[in-house]
Amino acid sequence: MSGVLVRAVVVSLALVVVGCSAVNESSKPLSVAAEVTPIAVVASKSASPSVTLLDKVVWNAQKQQGKMYRWGGTSPVTGFDCSGLTQYAFRNGAQVSIPRTAAQQYAAAVKVSKEQSQKGDLVFFNTSGKRISHVGIYLGNNKFVHAPRTGRAIATDQLKGYWANRLVGFGRIPGACRPSYS
């Protein structure tokens, strides 16, 4: 758990303890660390952030890293092309069916700006003169996972240089943006 979350839990619990106590203002100050730390440890287990379906989508895609690109590929056994990887990750991570090709996935996605893009959004490129010819899954921090091309393995790349110059935009898949209950 991050230190920021632990501090937030400690401060919140301290406010509750201080606000709910029957101590009057002339009493000794309450030792927040002594009173709250044991509670924060228990609360931290239940306060952990929930795993979303998009986290599972990203995990399913990243799990394929190192496997070789295969044109028309849709399986971890035989390999993936770019849209086969995204289709597989959404089907297995979020139980959401998306179209087969990058262009069809672009048409099905709700467009979002780069500033609004989030982990698990699709990121689309024009690599061959067609409007949409490549797709990956955005990881945040200007990175994405994708099946690049013949001769290359599924990998994480940064949105700079070649990829930044060919970026068309970002898209969010309806139905995949919700908490995971398993």
User: Where are the alpha helices (H) located in the chain, listed in sequence order?
Assistant: 3-20, 32-46, 53-62, 82-94, 102-108, 162-166
Q: In this structure, what are the phi and psi dihedrals at residue 55, rounded to the nearest 5 degrees?
A: -60, -40
Exactly one of 58, 86, 122, 134 is catalytic; which is it?
A: 134
Q: Is 20 a catalytic residue?
A: no
Q: For residue 22, give the 3-state DSSP assignment.
A: coil
H or E segment to which residue 157 belongs: strand 155-158
- Please give the Cα distance from 144 to 34 (Å, whole number): 44
Task: Say which DSSP state 153 is in.
Answer: B
Exactly one of 10, 82, 135, 139 is catalytic; which is it?
A: 82
Radius of gyration of the chain measured on its C-alpha atoms: 22
Pairing mode of beta strands 143-146, 155-158: antiparallel
User: Minimal CA–CA distance to 157: which of 171, 168, 143, 167?
Assistant: 143
Q: What are 90's two structure tokens?
A: 């959404």
Exactly one of 146, 163, 168, 172 is catalytic; which is it?
A: 146
Q: Is 146 a catalytic residue?
A: yes
Catalytically active residues are: 82, 134, 146
